[in-house]
Structure 1
Amino acid sequence: MQDPPPATTATTATIQQPAQPLPDAAPSSAGAVGSAVLALLLVVALILALAWLARRMPGAAASSNKSLRVVASLAVGQRERVMVVDVGGTQLLLGVGPGGTRTLHTLAEPLPVQDAPAPFAQLLAQQFGKKS
């Protein structure tokens, strides 16, 4: 007699994929840092642009001190200027530079008063070609 063939048992093996590592948080934090730096640079650029504009616009900085005011000013060098300052009715000619401020002359007669500078809205309208 012949022996029956051995019974085969079905064995199944399951292969598990290793768990994928969690994505690193670096790309998202790098993007957040980059956008924060960009926003900070834009704010600083805006502040510098407004400061430059304020220095270039005549009459933009209004003086609240009535007893001391600058009557006229003229640049005579990169960092030197000559100014006429009214102090309580007396006008002084001052030399202003990196070495300090010096009184050059006390004026016997006050300089004629110039027209007040135009308000900011008028200056802006003139820049864009509109009449107010």
Structure 2
Amino acid sequence: MAVLAVAAAPAAKAAVPAAHAPSSPGLAGAFFALLLVLGLILGLAWMLRRLPGAGFRPAEGLRVVASLQLGAKERAVVVEVGGQQLLLGVTAAGISRLHELPQPLPPAEPPKLPNLKDLPNFAQLLSQRLRKDA
């Protein structure tokens, strides 16, 4: 009988639930975690702006005037540097100066958008297309 009492003792201890079960952090914990992540993002953005050479600001005195895609990885670019315009060839292998422009290029006009009143509405286009297909 003594062996049974010793064997039953650990089983009895295991059957008793723990007094304090771990609980989830709740709404306050989730809000705190969200604030912590947002603070980390803002802190890293501030630090990125403060590092030299890591900014996204364009260089002063340097401006891309025009660009033309010539191939998959090749393009011709007109760059203005200190009042002078240069025609550059840009490839995957490097950048080379092709020509120095004697006169600056005229400023490009913004693309003209069509007037929405002149365009037919979608219902008209759809009905015309359906009549053609039938």
TM-score when scaled to structure 2? 0.39
Structure possessing the higher relative contact order (Cα contacts under 8 Å, 6 or more residues apart) = 1
TM-score when scaled to structure 1? 0.39
Structure with greater helix percent: 2
User: Greater CA radius of gyration, 1 or 2?
Assistant: 1
